[in-house]
Amino acid sequence: MSKVDRRILKSQEAIKKAVIELMSEKNFDQITLQEISDRANVSRRTIYLHYLDKFDLLDKLIEEHISELRELAESATDMDFIDGNLIWFEYFESHWLFFSTMLGSKGAPSFRRQFLEFVIEGLKGEMNITEGKNNGIHEEVTLRFIAGAYVEIVEWWFTNGMPYTPQTMAEQVGILIERIA
């Protein structure tokens, strides 16, 4: 794998940070490439070297975080729900601006849907939800119920300024999921 020039990485990070900051201030549709380039302190040409347009930039940014979460989920396959959730809540905390913006009112509505579908896919392999106390409840209903609650609690956590530590959130959410599973 070839090494990417540090200047390129620095420019890409500045562009990503700029678009997230701007999205925390106003709706994505109102943001222009000129505003992104001004905030990132790069030329519009530099943005076009890496992205087709602002929509491509947003798609790649979302894709990057979903991919990171997927890798974290894969590394947590032998963990219980509490320890697995701790990894995610620590990641959410360290990427506060991205998640609080994407799940906030000015965020990208498509992100919430993508995040929900990602959580559903992750739960499919981790839970035995059609046996025992869940016998007779359709798997899709149970998965959507749990995933919807998970996305909602993450939204709530950000909207309320992360009132609990990642450890507390992981414990509380993990216990609730284990009760349903």
- Tens digits of per-residue pLDDT, 68-126? 999 998 888 888 889 989 999 999 999 999 999 998 766 677 899 999 999 999 888 77
Q: Hey, CA dihedral for 120, 161, 96, 47, is it positive or negative?
A: positive
Indicate whether 56 belongs to any domain: no
pLDDT of residue 5: 83
* Torsion angle defined by CA atoms of residues 76, 174, 178 and 175, in that order, rounded to the nearest 10 degrees: 150
pLDDT of residue 1: 52
| Pair 83, 170 in one domain | yes
8-state DSSP, 52: S
Indicate whether 13 belongs to any domain: yes
* Residue carrying the six token digits 């697995």: 84
Indicate whether 152 belongs to any domain: yes
* Residue carrying the six token digits 């894709």: 63
The total number of structural domains in the chain stands at: 2
Q: Is the model's pLDDT at 11 over the cut of 90? A: yes
- Region 47-71: what's the mean pLDDT? 94
- Do 116 and 148 form a contact (C-beta atoms < 8 A)? yes
Domain that holds residue 162: 61-180
pLDDT of residue 138: 85
Among 51, 73, 91, the domain boundary falls at: 51
Burial track 120-148 (b if 16+ CB lie within 10 A, e otherwise):
bebbeeebebeeeebeeeeeeebbeebbe
pLDDT of residue 105: 65
| Pair 15, 80 in one domain | no
| Pair 172, 117 in one domain | yes
Q: What is the CATH number of the domain that holds 108?
A: 1.10.357.10
- Residue 165's identity, in one-letter code, is T
Q: What is the CATH number of the domain that holds 27?
A: 1.10.10.60
Q: Work out the number of other CB atoms within 10 angstroms of the CB of residue 176.
A: 16
8-state DSSP, 4: P
| Pair 12, 99 in one domain | no
Tokens coding 64 = 């990057």
Q: Compute the distance between CA of residue 164 and CA of residue 158 in angstroms, rounded to an integer.
A: 10
Tokens coding 93 = 């905390």
Indicate whether 43 belongs to any domain: yes
